[in-house]
Structure 1
Amino acid sequence: MVTVMFRSSSRSWDVGRLGATLAVVAMLTAACGQARAAAPPDPEFTSGERAEPTVVETPLPSEGDIVLPDDVESGDTGTDDAGDEFDVADMVVLDDAGNASPNLSGWSAFDAAMQRRLGINQASSVAVMIDGEVVHAGAYGVRVAGGDAVETTDRFRIASISKTITAIVTMQLVEDGLLTLDDPVGQVLIDHLKLASPDADVAPTTVRELLSHTAGFPQHEGTFFSNGATSCTDAAIKGLSSGVNSGSGYRYSNMSYCVLGILIEAVTGQAYERVVEDRLLEPLGIEGMRFTSTYELGPDEVSHYPTPNRNFMEVLGAAGSWNATPTDLVRIMNSIDHATPGWKAISEETARSMRFRIDTGQQPGGYGLGLINYENDTFGHTGTIQNTHAMLLRQPDGITWAVTVAGGTPSESGNLRSIVRSALAEAFG
C-alpha cells in the first residue's frame, strides 16, 4: 500500500520545506511504481478476452447487479451524518515555525477505521482531496484472491461514475458549439446508426434529456445485464427502436448514457474513449484509465469476480465501463470545481448547470446533468455493478473523496458516504 500526502495550497505553510517533502514522496512513489512494473502479477483472466455474449432467457439481475444510484429521485441518501464531526485542519500538523507535515497518526487511524468498516475479505481503495490537492490515498485487501496486496495505483471498475465523465465531456462539446442542451439530436443518432425504424419519440430527444435521464428510456436491465445486447451500439439500436416514452419524466436508465457516448462519436468523428482521453484525462495527467470487458484484468487492476456468462461491461459503454483509481476520480471531480486551484474542464457557469434538474425549477436537487445532489450542498455520483461499489463526493467543507470497492460490502453504494464520514470523525474528531 502506498499512502501519498500533500498539503492544501490555501493554508499558509512553508512552501520550500513542503517542496522537499513532496520530492521525497515522489521518489518513493516512483520507486514503488518501478517495482510493480518489474514484476507484474499474472492476471486472473486473459487480457483482452471478451465474454461470449448470448441472448438466452436468464433471470433479471439481482438488485446488486443493476447500476442504480441510491435515492437519486430525492437526492437524500437516508443517512444522517450530522453527528460525524471532524476538523479539516487536523489532517495536517504544523510545527512551531509553521511548517506543515502529514498527520500520520490521524491518517493511520482513518485507514484502520476504513478497513474495519469495509472488511478485510475484499479489496478497496480511497483518496481524499482538500482544496484541490490530494492529501491521502489508502488501499486495503488483495488485488486477486490469494494475490498481491492492493496498491493505491490499482484501478477498479467504477460503474456509473462513468456517467459523470461522459457528462463532463458532453458539456465541453456544448461549450464548443458541437452540441446544444436543448436542440433535438435524435436525427443525428438515427443517421449515425442507420436506424431503419426508430421509435417515433427519438427524433425530438435533446442532450439535456439524455444527461438528466428524462429522455423516456426504460431501465433496460435485461439489455445491459442479462446478455440482451452484444455491445453499447447494439443496445442503443434496440433502445432507440422501441419503447421510448418521451415526456414521461425522470427515470434512471443506462440507455441514456450509452446513447450519449454514441452521440459524442457522431459529432466528433472520433471514438468515445479517444475523445475522453484527449479532452479530459490527458489535460489532468491521468494515464491508464480505460474501458474494460467483464472478464478482462490487467496487471494493475482489481478483480470484481464476475460470475460466468456475463457481458455487462461490454454493453454499458459510456454509462459504466471505465476503470480508475480513487485518485483519478477526485482529480476528475476537481476539474469541475471552480472553488479550487487546478485545470478546469468547463467554465464555472457550465459546471454549476450540471447540478440543475429540469423538473425542479432549475434548483440543484436529486439528479442533475451527470451529478447526484445530496443534502448540505454535497454532490457526486455512485457506481454499482456485480461485486463493485464506488462513490465520488464533493463536500462543502472543501473535501472531495472517492472510494472504490470490489466486494459485497456495503450492500448499497450510497452507504459509502456514512462509512467515510464516520472514519474521518474517528480519526480527526
Structure 2
Amino acid sequence: MRLILTSLMAVFTLATSAMAQAADNVDAFLDQQMARSNAPGLAYALVDEGGVITGASGVLRRGEDASVTPQALFQVGSITKSFTALAIMQLKEGGALTLEDEVALHLPDFETQTPITLRQLLGHTSGYSTVQGNAAHHDQSLAERVSQLAADGPAQAAGAWAYSNANYQILGAVIEAVSGEAYAEYVSAHILSPLEMTNTHVLTGEPVGGLATGHQPWFFGRRPVEASWGSSVTAPSGGIVSSAVDMAHYLQMMLNGRDDVISSAGKAMMLRPASDASPYYGLGWALDPEGGYALHSGLTPGFEAIAVLEPAQQRGVVVLVNASGGMGFGEVYPLLYGVTNRALGEPYADAGANWGPKSLYLLFALMPLVYLAASIVAFVLRDGLRAKSGLGGMISLWFPLVMAGVLAVVLLRGVPNLFGTTLTGLALYQPDLVFLLYASVIASAIWAGLRLAIAHTGPRA
C-alpha cells in the first residue's frame, strides 16, 4: 500500500510540476506579447488531473488602472454553443428527446419545412447558412426569431456543413419547449449551479456587474465598445459571460470521466463527430482529430475567447481576451493561440507580420485617398475632359460612373459576405473597415460624377 501511495504522489508531483512549468511559459509569453497584440487584458486557466492554475494580465479597460483578475468576467461568445449542446444531452439522457428527433416534433412552426433533425442542428449540417445565422434580429424574442427561421427555411439542402448561429438559436427554442423553462433559467439551474459556476451568467438583455470592457479594432489601435447585454435570441448561440475560474470548473467537468451533470458516455459522445457529414464538429465542440483536441472559439464585439480540451491527457485550457480581432492590424488570434499552445506544451509558429490581410487593409485605407487625388487631377486637367467627343469620349466619361456602381456592390455586399455577415454585422466587429468601405464608395462616386460635371459645364476646348 505504501508503494502505491508513493507512486501516486510521484505522478501527482510530476503533473503539478509540468502544469507549473506550462504556466510559467504562458506568463513569459504574455510579458512579451501583450503590448504587441494591443489587447488591453487577458485571463486564462490551465486544467489537468493535478488541478487548476489561473492567471491574468493587463487591464479591464484601456486607459484605466483596474487590473484583470482570473475572476473578471468576459464574454465567451460561441463557446456558449457547448453549453447549449450539453443541455440537449441532459434532456436526451432524461428521455425528453432524442438526437434523431425532427425539429417539428418540438417546434410546430417547422412542420411545413423539409425535415431537420436535432443532430443536424448540433453538427451544423441543417442547411442554415452562416449569413442566416448572423442576420439582424432587432427586438425579436427567441420564439419570433425561430419562427422567422422556420418561415425562411434553410439556404441549402440539409447534409452540407455550414457553421451557423441559426442552428443553436433553434436548439435554444427546443430546450425551452421541452423543459418548460426559459433557456437562461434552464442553463443556470441545470449546468451553472451544479458546477458551482457562481460568477457565470447568460445574457438576455439585463446588465451584469463586473464585466470587462470590450475593445474593437479602430484603424491602427483599439477603442472601447459600449457594453451589449445580449438578448434571448443570442443567448443559446453566444450569450454566456464567465471568468477563467468558472470556465476551469466547466473544463474539469468535461474531462473528469465521471457521471455528473451528464454521463461520462454523454461527454464522450459530445467530443466525437456529430455525423459523417460533420467530421470536424461534434456536439457543440469543434474537433481536431489529428491532434486529439476538442475546442471552440468565441467572438463577440470587443471580446475573443478559446477553450481547448485534450481528453487523452485530461487537460485543457481557456483563454479570455477583452479585444476582438479584425483584418489587418487588429489581430488577436496570435495571442490566443500562443497562450493555448504554450499551455499545452505544443509548438507555436508565430504568424509574424502576416502581410496578406494587412496589405488588403492598407489598400482599403488608400483607396479613398487615390480617388481624392484623381478628383484633383480631373479638375486640373479639365480642358482635356471638355475636349472629349464622339463614342470614345462618351465611353471614357461614363465608364467610371459604371465602375463606381460596381465597386459599391463589391465593397458593400461582397466584402461582408466574405466574413459571412452583412455590412451592419461587420460594423459591429470592425467599424474602421466599414468606414473605409463607405469612404471608398463615396470617393469613387465623387470622382466619376466630377468628371462628368466638368465635361458638360464650362467653355468647350
Among 16, 21, 26, the residue aligned to 1:110: 26
Compute the displacement of 1:423 (Å): 5.9
Asked whether the equivalents of residues 291 and 322 of structure 1 are also in contact (C-alpha less than 8 Å), the reply is yes
Matching residue of 1:160:
78
Counterpart residue type for residue 174 of structure 1: K
CA distance change for structure 1 residues 234 and 10 in 2, over 3 Å: closer, same or farther? farther
Q: Deviations over 1:13-45 (max 9, x none)?
A: 699xx9xxxxxxxxxxxxxxxxxxxxxxxxxxx
**Match of 2:56?**
139
Kept in 2: contact 1:335–1:346 (CA 8 A): no
Q: What amino acid does structure 1 have at the position aligned with 2:169?
A: C
Alignment partners' CA distance in 1, 2:227 and 2:209: 23
- Which of 357, 360, 364 is residue 276 of structure 2 equivalent to? 360
Q: Name which of 279, 282, 296 aligns with 1:381.
A: 296
Within the candidate set 130, 144, 148, 1:234 is matched to 144
- How many angstroms does 1:124 deviate by? 0.9
**Cα drift, residue 167 of structure 1:** 0.6
Which has the higher mean CA deviation after the structures are superposed, 297-306 or 347-356?
Answer: 297-306
Q: Deviations over 1:192-238 (max 9, x none)?
A: xxx4xx57326x322111111112212245x6464556343332222
Higher relative CO (Cα under 8 Å, sequence separation at least 6) belongs to 1
Q: Secondary structure at the match of 2:298?
A: strand
TM-score (norm 2): 0.62
Give yes or no for the alignment of 1:275 onto 2:186. Answer: yes
Q: Which amino acid aligns with 1:116?
A: Q
Please name the residue that 1:91 is paired with: 18
Change in Cα spacing, 1:273 to 1:228, as seen in structure 2 (3 Å) is closer
- AA aligned to 1:189 is L
Identity %: 23
State how far apart, in whole Å, the 1-side matches of 2:286 and 2:7 are. 27
Q: Does 1:300 align with 2:300?
A: no
1:251 aligns with 2:171: no
Q: Is the counterpart of residue 177 in structure 1 residue 92 in structure 2?
A: no
Task: Report the CA distance between 1:419 and its aligned residue.
Answer: 3.4
Gaps of 5+ in 1: 1-8, 19-86, 93-102
The structure whose Rg is larger is: 2
- What letter is aligned with 1:139? A
- Pick aligned residue for 2:124 from 209, 213, 230: 213
Q: 1:214 to 1:131 in 2, by over 3 A?
A: same
Matching residue's letter, 2:112: A
State the secondary structure of the residue aligned to 1:126.
strand
1:186 is the counterpart of 2:104: yes
SS at match of 1:113: helix
Separation (CA, whole Å) in 1 of partners of 2:28 and 2:60: 19
Residue type at the aligned position of 1:127: A
Shift of 1:242: 0.9
Give me the whole-angstrom Cα distance separating, in 1, the residues matched to 2:182 and 2:335. 35
How many residues are aligned here? 324
Q: Which runs of 5+ in 2 are unaligned?
A: 1-5, 217-224, 348-461
* 8 Å contact kept, 1:10–1:131: no
- Partner of residue 150, structure 1: 68
How has the CA–CA distance of structure 1 residues 293 and 183 changed in structure 2, closer, same or farther, with 3 Å as cutoff?
A: closer
- Provide, for residues 295-331 of structure 1, a one-character-per-residue CA deviation record: whole Å limited to 9, x for no partner: x764421111475797865631210000011232232
* Aligned CA distance change for structure 1 residues 305 and 315 (closer, same or farther; 3 Å): farther
SS in 2 for 1:366: coil
Cα deviation 1:234-262 (Å, max 9, x = unaligned):
32222111132442421111011111111
CA distance in 2, matches of 1:205, 1:189: 11
Give the Cα–Cα distance (whole angstroms) in 2 for the partners of residues 159 and 184 of structure 1.
Answer: 27
Counterpart residue number, 2:283: 369
Aligned residues of 1:313 and 1:320 also touching (Cα < 8 A):
no
**Which SS does the other structure have where 2:147 is aligned?**
helix
Deviation at 1:108, TM superposition (A): 4.4
- Kindly indicate whether the alpha-carbon contact (under 8 Å) linking 2:43 and 2:54 is maintained by their aligned counterparts in 1: yes
Equivalent residue letter for 1:285: E
Q: 1:285 to 1:416 in 2, by over 3 A?
A: same
Residue 187 and residue 304 in structure 1: after superposition, are their counterparts in 2 closer, same or farther (change >3 A)? same
Q: Distance in 2 between matches of 1:274 and 1:312?
A: 15
* 1:315 partner SS: coil
Q: Are 2:244 and 2:320, in contact at CA under 8 Å, matched by a contact in 1?
A: yes
Q: Which residue of 1 aligns with 2:113?
A: 201
RMSD: 3.4
